[in-house]
Amino acid sequence: HFLLFKLFHLLGLHDPEGAMIVIRLLHALWSLVVVRTGYRIAAELGGAEIAWRIGLLLALFYFMPFLAVRNLVEVACIPFLMLGVRSLMRQDGTPWRSALVAGIWLGLAMNVRFQTMLFAAGAGSGLLLERRWREVVPFALGVALPIVLLQGGIDLFIWGRPFAEIGEYVRYNAANATTYFDQPWYNYLLVLAGIFLFIGPFVLFGYFRRWRPLVPWLAVFAFLAFHSWHPNKQERFILPIVPLVLVL
């Protein structure tokens, strides 16, 4: 966004409202990645008919247009997560290459929203449990690559030390776990059950009923489990996994 606003100024666009219209349009285009990728994941899991329904539901809910076009890190990271899961599930090509690409996507998601490291950790655990040994190391390297180059490099440039922002973020949240909200552990289950309106309870039941495919299921579960354990529960925190819960 910093570079984008620099471009606006070079082009003579100084009106904040005009600049935000462009940014909203870019976010809208970015959100369409979730619909397309969710359709492809659903096609592999349940066939064309199920994929068609999933595509329509993702287009209908995704994810509430007023959220999809806003500068919310919890929403802007979702396409990266979906692309990462799609790469992990690809049956064509070389498995280690797909795992490497998936790791890069999830590493980019972590650059946008740090908490998605739990998602990546869950996916990596799924690879280990399924004994997909050839994919574990490329996946880990893929995750580390954007973190080291982008997050570490930018922090080194701005603050003089790598990973300064992540370190401060973790310390602040650990010290203020109950400062803002302290909700019960089942709060996010209620959010997920209600977020899809009348089909919400069925979506949640379907997710917990079938633990397959294990890698994306465990990625979602790790993210949900940590946030359910952590006292500070703001509804927007759970948004990164909402489309994938629907697909699964």
* pLDDT confidence of residue 129: 96
Task: Say which residues have a Cβ less than 8 Å from residue 184's Cβ, sequence separation at least 6.
Answer: none
**Burial per residue of 150-188, b for 16 or more beta-carbon CB atoms within 10 angstroms, e otherwise:** ebbeebeeeeeebbbebeeeeeeeeeeeeeeeebeeebb
Does the pLDDT value for residue 227 go beyond 70?
Answer: yes
* pLDDT confidence of residue 244: 95
* pLDDT confidence of residue 38: 96
Does the pLDDT value for residue 178 go beyond 90?
Answer: no
Q: Which helix (H) or strand (E) holds 61?
A: helix 16-61
**Three-class SS state of 213:** coil
* pLDDT confidence of residue 91: 66
* pLDDT confidence of residue 83: 97
* pLDDT confidence of residue 231: 86
pTM: 0.93
| Tens-digit pLDDT profile for residues 40-78 | 999 999 999 999 999 999 998 876 778 888 889 999 999
* pLDDT confidence of residue 182: 74
